[in-house]
Amino acid sequence: MFKKNLLIILLILFGTARFCFSQTLAYYKTSKYIKNYIWVPDANLKPSRLSFSAFNDMESLPESFIIPDQTVLVFLKKDRPDKTASLKLVFRCFIENISSADFKITDHKSHEFKQTVKFNNQGYQAPFFLNFDSLLVFDKKDLKIEISYKKLDEKRTTKFVLGDAWLGNNKIEKHLSPSEIFLNAPYSNINLKTRAQLTPFESAGQYAHFPVKQYEEYYKSNVFIENPSVKSENLLSEVFLSLLKAYPFYKERNLNKDQIISKAEILLHDNSSFCDRIAKINTFLNTEVRDPHFSIRSKCTIKPVTALVTPFYCYNFNNKAIVSAILDSELEEKIPLGSEILEINHKKVNLNQDFTIDRLNQSLKNAPGEKMTINFARPEGGLNEISYILKPKYIISKKYSGNKGDGYVFLNDSTAYYKINSINDHSVTTFISNLDSINTKKNLVLDLRNCGGGDFLAGARLLSSIVHKSFKYFDFEEVATGKLDSIIVNGNLSPLNFRKDGKISFIINRSSACVTELLASCLKRELRDVKIIGSENSIGALSFTYQVVLPDEDASFTTNAISPGKILVNGKSIETKGITPDICVKLEKVEDLAPYKDKVLQAAVSRIDL
């Protein structure tokens, strides 16, 4: 009898374990596009020189067509719609001097339904999804859409270029992530047999070579975590510790892995609330790891009840916090530009590796209505103390932020200047589409100061429009095996190229990171007439990054811990080292900074105007 009861107990405990086992799953999402009707370009339409690169889960479009006003697009039936009353018009376009466009769908029975799109900017547009949800009475054997548009400026010509258009729907699908980190505890991905089949990395023809066994699924940048049976604060701790254990840059950043993990385990070994743990993890990452590609955001911290403000900002000159921008006219007379900040609310200022100029500028911020006391040394000599009450809002002009917006201007008869703030599909495509105009000047200044990087494929496209040939993008070291390989970029797929006899000055600063650093190193290696200009090294943070999102999007990690490989420049890691300028410009006073005389830009122009 005892043995029988014991057997029943064992069956209950172990025979049903697979049904009650707590499973932490990590998955990514994809959009599956169901094209019920496809647009067939009319033979009379004029081809355009513009191409459309791959966008999220959409393929690249090597061909496009110029669409005159009031053009009728004819759609051919491909698949039977799942929902006959509702279809989406999906299209990708490029526009010039167009404020809005009307899309009127009709059938041969004179039914019609219209949607209007207002364009917030010109140039390449993100894909549009227009809902046509009143089509129950339409005869879907014969659908047509007329496009008509309005000019922004009646005196200028317009251009509407269409890359693709189709009628159908899309649905979101979830797939378990096959990344190595999620095949180990505390995750349960390996226990399930429904993982998506791995596919070769898809670069839309941009890469001539990509390492074998590096699959498309490894590079899905948004990973979602779920486990309904675990408390949110415990799941947060589990995910954080798993990321720390997988983090690949301990050696490069001179960190002791065992000590870091031990400190984190002690830190989280309590019953603190979810938001308290978020605060602890945030402080830990900022003080212990100090990797710009490893951070945390949450609903606890994203939107503080009151936005913190400051009326001025400082720049680090020789480890001194020097006032470099003042946003309050009343304070301009009391704290002159060039003053050195000595104390903030009676706490001494000492710039060092831990207390950087960024942290000092953060310390200057407080809630509106709060009193701040600053002790400072005036540029002409003499010590002062000033107290002020923070106003509800201070507006940072583009002059002070250094953000001149993506785009180009001509600095003189021989030099074009192009500012890029983020390397993405839009900024790169805009650069390429403006090459005809840029090429009227022999010299080009590429300003990527404060550009924190962006998309690697977009960066490869930008480089291929300048380099003119196939080239090595970067070296790749597998984290698991240490095996080395390289990523090779194809020659330019577009008819638009930067002129072969052109000179380039590439400007960087401490806030230039990731893909920006890769572009600088590639151009320097592949072209003779390229010089890197700056007042300091770039930050030295080059890796693939991911967003790891917790349930209900309560928190998310930005991290490089999931990456299957390390990116090397000329066979070496640049983590913490960065890219060193060929011409290092010494900034000695506030007037040398970009909002004023911009000594670095002057050096960049002088170099290529010789």
Planar angle of CA 18, 193, 34, nearest 5 degrees:
130
Whether 345 and 409 share a structural domain: no
% of the chain with per-residue pLDDT over 90: 60
Range of the domain at 468: 402-542+578-608
Q: Quick one: 129 exposed, middle or buried, by C-beta within 10 A (0-12, 13-18, 19+)?
A: exposed
Q: Compute CA distances 129 → 115, 157, 298, whole Å.
A: 11, 26, 29
Instruction: Inform me whether the pLDDT recorded for 102 exceeds 70.
Output: yes
Quickly state the pLDDT bin for 329 (edges 50, 70, 90): confident
DSSP state letter for 530: E
List the single range of 156-160, 252-256, 405-409, 543-547 with lowest mean pLDDT: 405-409
Element (H, E) at 330: helix 329-332
Most confident of 80-84, 430-434, 527-531: 527-531
Asked whether residue 538 falls in the same domain as residue 446, the answer is: yes
Is the distance from CB of 256 to CB of 55 less than 8 angstroms? no
The larger pLDDT score, comparing residue 343 to residue 192, is at 343
pLDDT over 50 at 253, yes or no? yes
Contact 440, 535 (CB under 8 A): no
**Binning pLDDT at 50, 70 and 90, where does residue 467 land?**
very high
Q: Which residue has the tokens 């998310």?
A: 556
Provide the residue type at 24 as one letter.
Answer: T
Q: What is the pLDDT of residue 84?
A: 57
Based on C-alpha coordinates, what's the Rg of the chain?
A: 28
Mean pLDDT, rounded, for 376-381: 93
Q: Which of 58-72, 238-252, 265-279, 415-429 has the highest mean pLDDT?
A: 238-252
Q: 461 with 384, same domain?
A: no
In a domain? residue 20 = no
CATH number assigned to the domain comprising residue 117? 2.60.120.260
The residue ranking higher by pLDDT, 542 or 404, is 542
**Any residues with CB less than 8 A from the CB of 160 and at least 6 apart, and which?**
66, 67, 68, 69, 93, 94, 95, 98, 101, 147, 149
Last residue of a domain, one of 173, 190, 219: 173
Residue 155 within a domain: yes
Q: Higher confidence at residue 56 or residue 166?
A: 166
Bin 569: left if φ > 0, else alpha if -120 < ψ < 50, else beta. beta
Q: In angstroms, what CA-CA distances link 363 with 308, 312, 322, 359, 506?
A: 10, 11, 14, 6, 32
pLDDT for 13 beyond 50: no
The one-letter amino acid code at 338 reads: G
Higher pLDDT, 87 or 483: 483
Convert the pLDDT of each residue in 390-399 to its tens digit.
Answer: 999 888 766 6
How confident is the model over 425-443, as pLDDT tens digits? 888 888 887 898 999 999 9
Q: Which residue has the higher pLDDT, 565 or 191?
A: 565
Distance CA 396, CA 410 (A): 25
- Is residue 410 included in any domain, yes or no? yes
Mean pLDDT, the chain, integer: 87
Last residue within a domain, chosen from 173, 203, 229 = 173
Same domain, 591 and 472: yes
Structure tokens at 505: 């000055």
Residue 54, Cα to own-chain centre: how many angstroms? 16
Query: For the purposes of burial, counting CB atoms within 10 Å of the CB of 596, is it exposed (0-12), middle (13-18) or buried (19 or more)?
Result: middle
My answer on whether 350 and 436 are in the same domain is: no
- Same-domain status, 383 and 443: no
How much is the pLDDT for 205? 79
Q: What's the confidence (pLDDT) of residue 14?
A: 40
What is the per-residue pLDDT for 301?
A: 61
Q: What is the spatial distance between Cα 351 and Cα 365, in angstroms, rounded to a whole number?
A: 17
Which residues make Cβ contacts (< 8 Å) with residue 381, sequence separation at least 6? none
In a domain, 23, yes or no: no
> For residue 122, is it within any domain?
yes
Domain count, the chain: 3
CA distances from 30 to 161, 172, 216, 405 (A): 27, 6, 12, 31
Instruction: Give the pLDDT score at 305.
Output: 54
Q: How far apart are the first and last CA of the chain?
A: 99
**CATH number of the domain that residue 358 is part of:** 2.30.42.10
Residue 131: count of CB within 10 angstroms of its CB: 11
Q: b/e for 384-420, b at 16 or more Cβ within 10 A?
A: eeeebebeeebeeeeebebeeebebeebeeebbbbbb
Same domain flag for 375 and 322: yes
User: Do 256 and 49 meet the contact criterion of CB atoms below 8 Å apart?
Assistant: no
On whether residue 344 sits in a domain, the answer given is yes
Whether 118 and 60 share a structural domain: yes
Is the pLDDT reported for residue 242 higher than 60?
Answer: yes
DSSP β-bridge partners for residue 556: 297, 549
Domain boundary, last residue among 393, 428, 447: 393
Virtual CA dihedral for 317, 318, 320, 326, nearest 10 degrees?
0
- What pLDDT is stored for residue 9 in this prediction? 45
DSSP letter at 579?
P
DSSP state of 59: P
Residue 241 φ then ψ, to 5°:
-65, -35
* pLDDT surpasses 50 at 74: yes
**Residue 100: predicted pLDDT:** 95
pLDDT at site 355: 86
Percentage above 70 pLDDT, the chain = 91
Q: Which runs of consecutive H residues, i.e. helices, occur in 387-494?
A: 398-401, 425-433, 435-438, 456-467
Band of residue 54 on the pLDDT scale cut at 50, 70, 90: confident
428/386 same-domain check = no
Say which residue, 205 or 528, is predicted with more confidence.
Answer: 528
Provide the pLDDT confidence category of residue 15 given band limits of 50, 70 and 90: very low
Residue that the structure tokens 């010109």 belong to = 122
In the predicted model, is pLDDT for residue 83 greater than 60? no
> Is residue 34 within a helix (H) or strand (E), and if so which, with residue range?
strand 25-39
Average pLDDT in the 482-488 region? 95
Beta-bridge mates of residue 149: 101
Return the pLDDT at 131: 87
Same domain, yes or no: 490 and 417: yes
Does some domain include residue 500? yes
Return the pLDDT at 224: 96
What CATH number is attached to the domain comprising 436?
Answer: 3.90.226.10
User: What's the pLDDT at 206?
Assistant: 85
**Average pLDDT of 268-291?**
91
Cis omega before residue 186 (within 30°)?
yes
Amino acid at site 111: H
Per the domain annotation, does 80 fall within a domain?
Answer: yes
Residue predicted with more confidence, 83 or 180: 180
Q: What pLDDT score does 422 carry? A: 92
Task: Say yes or no: 410 and 432 in one domain.
Answer: yes
Predicted local distance difference test score (pLDDT) of residue 11:
41
Tokens of 42: 């009319």
Q: Which residue has tokens 């019920």?
A: 36
Structure tokens at 368: 């509106």
CB neighbours of residue 230 within 10 Å: 18
Q: What is the pLDDT of residue 277?
A: 93
Dihedral class, residue 540 (left if φ above 0, else alpha if ψ from -120 to 50, else beta): left
* CA 609 from centre of chain: 33
> Residue 143: pLDDT band by 50, 70, 90 thresholds?
confident
Do residues 445 and 582 share a domain? yes
Do the beta carbons of residue 505 and residue 605 sit within 8 Å? yes
Question: Does residue 304 carry a pLDDT above 80?
Answer: no
**Nearest alpha carbon to residue 341 among 367, 327, 358, 361:** 361
Bridge partners of 58, per DSSP, are: 55
Q: Judge contact between 457 and 54, C-beta under 8 A.
A: yes
pLDDT tens-place string over residues 103-121: 999 887 888 889 999 998 7
For residue 18, is pLDDT > 60? no
pLDDT (mean) for 160-181: 90
CA distances from 561 to 235, 288, 515 (A): 17, 15, 17
